[in-house]
Amino acid sequence: MKKILVACGSGIATSTVARNKLEEDLQDRGINMSQISMNQTSIPQIPSMASEYDVIVTTARYKEDVGVPVINGLSFLTGIGEDTAVDKIVEALEM
């Protein structure tokens, strides 16, 4: 099971939108979502949770090294560069 953590400022609003769009994009690529677990959190919680995940997607800039790939997911809100972000996530998950 691959694990994705989606983070935004509060862990509620924009991370929900990004998570839903990412899930839709992964399904559109034929990825079996039963093999992926996605959770949401706030940006400040990333360091304490990172080790439990394969990739982290944020809706805000995040530069801290937490030992797993951190991918900017702002494109899931704007639609600009969305395919590139999905490519990076799929690559990080090695799918």
49 catalytic residue (yes or no): no
CA distances from 84 to 1, 13, 77 (A): 23, 23, 14
Catalytic residue among 5, 8, 36, 57: 8
Angle at CA 31, nearest 5°, toward 25 and 26? 15
Helix or strand run (H / E) with residue 38: strand 36-42
Q: How many residues does the chain have?
A: 95
So which residues are the catalytic ones?
A: 8
